[in-house]
Amino acid sequence: MLEIEKITKTFLKGTLNEHTALRGLSLTLDDGDFVTVIGSNGAGKSTLFNAIAGSFLCDSGRILLDGKDITYQKEHKRAKQIGRIFQDPMKGTAPDLTVEENMALAYSKSTRNILASAHRKKDLAFFSEMLKKLNMGLEDRMRTKMGQLSGGQRQAVTLLMSTMVTPKLLLLDEHTAALDPVTAQKVLDITKEIVAENHITTMMITHNINQALNTGNRTIMLSAGQIVLDLKGEERAKITIPELMEMYQEKAGKALDNDRMLLSEV
């Protein structure tokens, strides 16, 4: 479904600050896979997402989505097939537009490409039904500006906006990290429901090791722009956090040094 073949990306080539962020990374996802992604700071997690989303072109390698080569496809074209949610609840929406206007924009991009036509009664009814599923009362606040919602409410609406028209791939870039624990869990539960209901192939970056091992069906760990661990099935189900740390150190040649991750989960 998603095929990444030996992609490489070096920033600031030829300067003192040259940095190779992706080093011949290869990864294949099957249709419906839900893969969690973990690794130390600077391991290449967000860079991998940026490469998939088309935020930059890789120096070498190929990226195929549903059998189509998108290696050189522009970001705005990939966005019609790839949904993405960021850590910052302020990203991905227009704060000065209402909930209904934001949803209409997202819907029209994937369907008619004309904002005005998205404001038909049946579309508004559709948006309302989608919002009801969140159990946040937002179906009664469709004319509230997005900037007036809480971070959790905003992330939940952004999630709906990214999946109203089912994407071929959903990228979740620590989308619950900026939320308080209770709200983060609620948004994660909503995420799981939407992904399962629509059978969406998903990748989720997280700093939470327990969350990584208990969400989806597969976990990969990155170090220095490469995948050093790929866990699934019985191996993933049985592994403990100390065993994971030990395995990571053996494969990466260094200990996991993300303090936030270690303090949160060990």
pLDDT tens figures, 184-194: 999 999 999 99
Return the pLDDT at 260.
53
- Look up residue 27 and give its amino acid: L
Tell me the average pLDDT of the chain: 91
pTM for the predicted model, two decimal places? 0.93
Helix (H, G, I), strand (E, B) or coil at 47: helix
> How many whole angstroms separate alpha carbon 84 and alpha carbon 141?
24
Segment 125-147 shows an average pLDDT of 95
Where residue 266 falls among pLDDT bands split at 50, 70, 90? very low
pLDDT in tens, 150-206: 999 999 999 999 999 999 999 999 999 999 999 999 999 999 999 999 999 999 999
Question: Residue 109: pLDDT above 90?
Answer: no
Question: Residue 46: pLDDT above 60?
Answer: yes
**Surface-to-core class of residue 207, CB atoms within 10 Å of its CB (0-12 exposed, 13-18 middle, 19+ buried):** buried
Where residue 11 falls among pLDDT bands split at 50, 70, 90? very high
> How many whole angstroms separate alpha carbon 248 and alpha carbon 107?
41
Which H or E run contains 212? helix 209-214
Q: Are 2 and 205 in contact (CB under 8 A)?
A: no
Return the pLDDT at 107.
87
Question: Residue 117: pLDDT above 90?
Answer: no
Segment 84-90 shows an average pLDDT of 92
Segment 56-64 shows an average pLDDT of 98
Return the pLDDT at 253.
87
Sheet with 68-69, edge to edge strand ranges: 19-29, 2-11, 60-65, 68-69
Return the pLDDT at 263.
45
